[in-house]
């Protein structure tokens, strides 16, 4: 660690030397708080999938069947994956200022491989609870791992060059919306891996040794989001941590949201599914907001990251009682992610038994498909279960955060 990076500073209202572009040595509390917020919201999104009775009947974003409450519960979950990867990129930038480029590249490459392995094993088992592993879903953690591997290759470039790559990917990948590679051969697999999702329920998935391969998160646009997050970390360098920084971030946030509104209104580019007039004003607004996550379109990225940066501005202040609690979840995101999936699925086993079903019905043979009938709860019960899950996770996350803080010599903790 160099002498400048070793200086301990207050992440809020700090004074920096002109020209210093190194990242603060102490944690950026606003990043922890916003990441904590999206981790909490993530639990709501996943609790709904396991407990809401309508989750087994229709897509919550389908305007022909949904209600405003169900739509909102699903739509707010849109924040989770892009913010998770965006701030993951930011954390890579901040942590990298304490390592050489070579050390950082090696760490990113190995951690990326580790995360992809976790997705195929620990995460997939959390979703299915099936010891035979009949399917593999390539989702959030897979995309995060791929993003780290790509960053390992890019970090030697100037920040402006890396930013150009990220902007090109995020702004330009929708040009490929009308290109498709049919079939299940190698070309189709590679196209799906980078650009176009393949779902098991659409029966256009791939198979390997009689196991379903579902590609839910084509990695190219997610890599673009992570690259933007990496470059955003530059805003937390000492050169840019000045009194007018919040105004600069506000320009980015408002600019992203206004660009979303204008481009979405034009209805020509930025999302493969255009908005349309619905049965009433409220549902027309919902159609306007119903942008594509699979893969994340330009408009999806603009609105979610615009909101995320606005939340970072709000959180850029000393911690209070509430934000201190929220930040605990944000300080241990991978631990929380893995733990919350298992806790939710175990809770669903008990819920099945308590409602006259067998816990075995909550073990899946195909992605997100349960062999269970007449099961599920109202949305209000879903929210109560969500709150309970988050409360249970708090002491566990607090313990792990303390363990990581007091055992920094344990190298393997950096991989979780």
- SS3 annotation, 336-396: HHHHHHHHHHHHHHHHHHHCCCCHHHHCCCECCECCCCCCCECHHHHHHHHHHHHHHHHHH
* Lowest-pLDDT choice from 18-27, 170-179, 257-266, 383-392: 18-27
Query: How many helices (H) and strands (E) in the chain?
Result: 15, 3
pLDDT tier for residue 7 given thresholds of 50, 70 and 90? very low
What's the pLDDT score for residue 300?
98
Could you give the CA distance from residue 275 to residue 289 in angstroms, rounded to a whole number? 8
Q: Is the pLDDT of residue 43 over 80?
A: yes
The 10 Å Cβ neighbour count of residue 266 is 10
Reference 151, options 98, 109, 211; nearest CA is: 109
For residue range 380-406, list pLDDT tens digits in order. 999 999 999 999 999 999 999 999 999
What's the pLDDT score for residue 108?
96
Tokens of 321: 């009682």
pLDDT tier for residue 5 given thresholds of 50, 70 and 90? very low
Give the mean model confidence (pLDDT) for residues 9-31: 52
Mean pLDDT of the chain: 90
Give the mean model confidence (pLDDT) for residues 4-17: 34
For residue range 55-68, list pLDDT tens digits in order. 988 999 999 999 99
Q: Is the pLDDT of residue 1 over 60?
A: no
What's the pLDDT score for residue 311?
97
What's the pLDDT score for residue 208?
83
What's the pLDDT score for residue 13?
36
DSSP 8-state symbol, 200: G
For residue range 316-326, list pLDDT tens digits in order. 999 999 999 99
293: helix, strand or coil: coil
Reference 343, options 391, 377, 395, 389; nearest CA is: 389
> Is pTM, for the whole model, over 0.75?
yes
What's the pLDDT score for residue 172?
97
pLDDT tier for residue 26 given thresholds of 50, 70 and 90? low
Name the more confident of 32 and 8: 32
pLDDT tier for residue 412 given thresholds of 50, 70 and 90? confident
For residue range 199-251, list pLDDT tens digits in order. 887 778 898 888 999 999 999 999 999 999 999 998 887 655 566 778 889 99
High-pLDDT (> 70) share of the chain, %: 92
The 10 Å Cβ neighbour count of residue 192 is 22
What's the pLDDT score for residue 330?
96
For residue range 297-315, list pLDDT tens digits in order. 999 999 999 999 999 999 9
Could you give the CA distance from residue 295 to residue 307 in angstroms, rounded to a whole number? 19
Q: Is the pLDDT of residue 180 over 80?
A: yes
What's the pLDDT score for residue 100?
87
Q: Is the pLDDT of residue 179 over 80?
A: yes
For residue range 108-164, list pLDDT tens digits in order. 999 999 999 999 999 999 999 999 999 999 999 999 999 999 999 999 999 999 999
What's the pLDDT score for residue 243?
65
DSSP 8-state symbol, 268: S
């Amino acid at each position: 660690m160099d002498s400048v990076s070793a200086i301990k500073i207050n992440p809020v209202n700090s004074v920096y030397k002109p020209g210093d572009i190194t990242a603060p040595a102490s944690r950026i509390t606003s990043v922890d708080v916003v990441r904590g917020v999206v981790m909490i919201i993530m639990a709501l999104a996943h609790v709904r999938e396991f407990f809401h009775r309508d989750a087994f009947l229709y897509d919550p974003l389908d305007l022909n069947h949904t209600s405003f409450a169900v739509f909102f519960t699903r739509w707010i979950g849109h924040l989770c994956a892009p913010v998770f990867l965006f701030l993951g990129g930011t954390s890579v930038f901040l942590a990298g200022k304490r390592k050489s480029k070579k050390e950082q590249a090696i760490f990113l490459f190995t951690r990326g491989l580790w995360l992809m392995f976790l997705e195929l094993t620990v995460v997939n088992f959390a979703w299915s609870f099936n010891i035979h592993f009949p399917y593999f879903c390539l989702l959030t953690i897979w995309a995060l791992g791929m993003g780290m591997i790509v960053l390992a290759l890019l970090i030697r470039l100037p920040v402006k060059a890396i930013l150009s790559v990220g902007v090109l990917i995020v702004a330009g990948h929708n040009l490929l919306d009308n290109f498709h590679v049919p079939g299940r051969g190698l070309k189709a697999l590679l196209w799906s891996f980078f650009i176009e999702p393949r779902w098991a329920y659409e029966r256009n998935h791939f198979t390997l040794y009689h196991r379903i391969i579902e590609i839910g998160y084509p990695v190219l646009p997610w890599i673009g989001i992570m690259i933007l997050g990496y470059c955003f970390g530059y805003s937390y360098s000492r050169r840019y941590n000045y009194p007018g920084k919040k105004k600069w971030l506000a320009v980015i946030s408002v600019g992203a949201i206004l660009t979303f509104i204008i481009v979405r209104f034009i209805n020509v580019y930025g999302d493969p599914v255009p908005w349309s007039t619905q049965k009433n004003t409220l549902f027309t607004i919902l159609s306007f907001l119903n942008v594509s996550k699979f893969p994340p379109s330009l408009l999806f990225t603009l609105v979610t990251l615009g909101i995320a940066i606005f939340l970072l501005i709000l959180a850029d202040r000393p911690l209070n009682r509430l934000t201190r609690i929220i930040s605990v979840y944000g300080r241990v995101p991978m631990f929380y992610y893995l733990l919350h999936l298992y806790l939710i699925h175990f809770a669903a086993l008990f819920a099945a038994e308590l409602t006259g079903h067998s816990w075995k019905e909550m073990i899946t043979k195909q992605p997100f498909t349960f062999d269970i009938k007449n099961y599920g709860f109202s949305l209000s019960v879903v929210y109560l279960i969500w709150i309970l899950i988050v409360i249970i996770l708090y002491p566990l996350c607090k313990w792990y955060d303390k363990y990581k803080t007091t055992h920094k010599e344990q190298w393997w903790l950096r991989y979780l």
